[in-house]
Amino acid sequence: MPGRFDGRVALVTGAGAGIGRAIALRLADGGATVFGVDVDHEGLVETSKAASGMLITYRADLAEADACPAAVSACISRLGRLDVLGNVAGIYAAAHTPEMSRERYRRLMAVNLDAYFYLAQAAIPHLLEHGGNIVNIASNAGIQGIPYSAAYCMSKGGVIQLTRSLAVEYLKSPLRVNAIAPAGTNTDIAANAGFPADMDADLAGRMGGLRGLAEPEEVAALFAFLASDEARSVTGAVYTIDNGLTAS
């Protein structure tokens, strides 16, 4: 919707591909100045080329704790304000739980959960200045049990509780905090999930739905609603986009 975010600044992580790219493009198309963050510089360049509005790129590895407040500081320094924080960046690692290395586990938690907290921590003082909001990308894996995905489910369950806790903490302020929990979505992460070769087909079947995958643009459309003034009464909510998977 043109003009929906005129004058607003949105920091979107994971903007180099997939859901993050779709969100960054959607907000820019709506008039926002988007500060797109990703570890993948080439992906950011491609997102910038596709943007119809203002999109500034910033490369950062959000698995490094100090990179999170640095990204927020860079956004404020460049653009002077922050109205929307989109915590979108995420990684996936499948394994039999006894075979998950500490290194893979630690990086997954650092990107999927720690970074969300550190970014919110740094962004909240700026968001409070303009009645801004945070939209976190969780997953239906934070609601359901998913085989071979214990660490991923932990991280996304944490995102849901981070969302609810922050929403309650700031109920007496204009700050809003919401989450979207997609299931299978047509992204590189879904295409390259890398499940164990000997996985149990019956258990794996629990991860699929009858309607197939969602598209990143569908998630972006819901994100844009939640980040806009149209959702001014929505906070602490977790919206699923899962083709009925969680309900079934």
Q: CA–CA separation, 182 vs 231, rounded Å?
A: 19
* Residue for token pair 């992460």: 189
pLDDT in tens, the chain (248 residues): 668 999 999 999 999 999 999 999 999 999 999 999 999 999 999 999 999 999 999 999 999 999 999 999 999 999 999 999 999 999 998 899 999 999 999 999 999 999 999 999 999 999 999 999 999 999 999 998 888 889 999 999 999 999 999 999 999 999 999 999 998 888 777 667 677 777 777 776 666 666 778 899 999 999 999 999 999 999 999 999 988 888 87
Q: Which secondary-structure segment (H or E) carries 26?
A: helix 18-29
What CATH code would you report for 9-241?
A: 3.40.50.720
**Which residues lie below 8 Å from residue 66, measured CB to CB, with a gap of 6+?**
none
Residue 143 backbone phi and psi in degrees, to 5: -115, -45
Backbone angles phi, psi at 62, to 5 degrees: -75, -5
Q: Give the DSSP H or E segment for 168.
A: helix 150-169
CA nearest neighbour of 231 among 101, 107, 105, 135 = 135
Instruction: Give pTM, 2 decimals.
Output: 0.94
Catalytically active residues, by annotation: 152
Q: Would you list the domain boundaries of the chain? A: 9-241
| Rounded CA separation 168/236 (Å) | 7
Sign of dihedral through CA atoms 52, 53, 59, 65?
Answer: negative
DSSP state at residue 102: H
Closest CA to 188 of 216, 208, 161: 216
- Sheet containing 238-241: give its strands across: 55-59, 33-38, 9-13, 84-87, 133-137, 176-182, 238-241
Cα–Cα distance between 115 and 95 in angstroms, integer?
22
Q: What is the torsional sign of CA 20, 24, 29, 30?
A: positive
Are 180 and 223 in contact, with CB atoms under 8 Å apart? yes
d(CA 77, CA 82): 10
pLDDT attached to residue 200 = 79
- How far apart CA 144 and CA 244 sit, in angstroms, is 12
Q: How far is CA 121 from CA 20, 61, 115, 118, in A?
A: 20, 17, 10, 5
